[in-house]
């Protein structure tokens, strides 16, 4: 069954189901990474607050990537279709449409940069 043959309501349901599954997978991977990092730092001077800090940093970086990716995808879906419609009517609006779509994609890149900065703060 192809996605393009589904009615629009089913496509929206499929999209949100995919988003939910992707979010669960990202949180699970972050949990595994946090568990591995916490088990490696089992020295005497490490307190429970240090492991909580590590887990919060890992969870924050996962949320930064996930939520910014979802937001950028949603914004790109809405503004991209509007930009294509505007270009079909007036070809001289190319730069404005390109600028709007580029700014939507920048949100995902900013989320990735923030996630990398948070990830680098996790002690080895």
Q: What is the pLDDT of residue 42?
A: 55
**66 three-class SS:** helix
pLDDT in tens, 84-119: 888 889 989 889 888 988 998 899 999 999 999 988
Q: Are the beta carbons of 54 and 38 closer than 8 angstroms?
A: yes
Q: Domain with 83 in it: what CATH number?
A: 1.20.20.10
- 1 pLDDT band, cuts 50/70/90, is low
User: Where is pLDDT greater, at 52 or 102?
Assistant: 102
Q: What is the pLDDT of residue 7?
A: 79
The verdict on residue 3 lying in a domain is: no
Note the residue count of the chain: 124
Domain enclosing residue 33, as ranges: 9-41+50-120
Cα-based torsion angle of the residue sequence 31, 34, 39, 40 in order, rounded to the nearest 10 degrees: 150
pLDDT in tens, 15-39: 777 887 888 787 777 777 777 776 6
CA–CA distances in Å: residue 74 to residues 47, 48, 101, 119: 41, 38, 11, 25
Count of domains for the chain: 1
Task: Give the pTM.
Answer: 0.58
The verdict on residue 107 lying in a domain is: yes
The verdict on residue 32 lying in a domain is: yes
CA–CA distances in Å: residue 55 to residues 32, 34, 36, 121: 10, 5, 10, 11
Q: What is the pLDDT of residue 15?
A: 78
């Amino acid at each position: 069954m192809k996605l393009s043959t589904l009615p629009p309501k089913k496509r929206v349901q499929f999209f949100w189901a995919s988003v939910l599954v992707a979010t669960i997978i990202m949180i699970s991977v972050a949990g595994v990474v946090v568990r591995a990092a916490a088990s490696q730092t089992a020295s005497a001077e490490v307190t429970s607050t240090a492991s909580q800090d590590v887990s919060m940093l890992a969870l924050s970086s996962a949320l930064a990537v996930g939520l910014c990716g979802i937001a950028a995808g949603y914004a790109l879906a809405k503004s991209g279709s509007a930009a294509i419609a505007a270009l079909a009517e007036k070809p001289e609006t190319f730069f404005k449409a390109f600028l709007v779509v580029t700014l939507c994609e920048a949100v995902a890149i900013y989320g990735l940069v923030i996630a990398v900065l948070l990830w680098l703060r996790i002690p080895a």
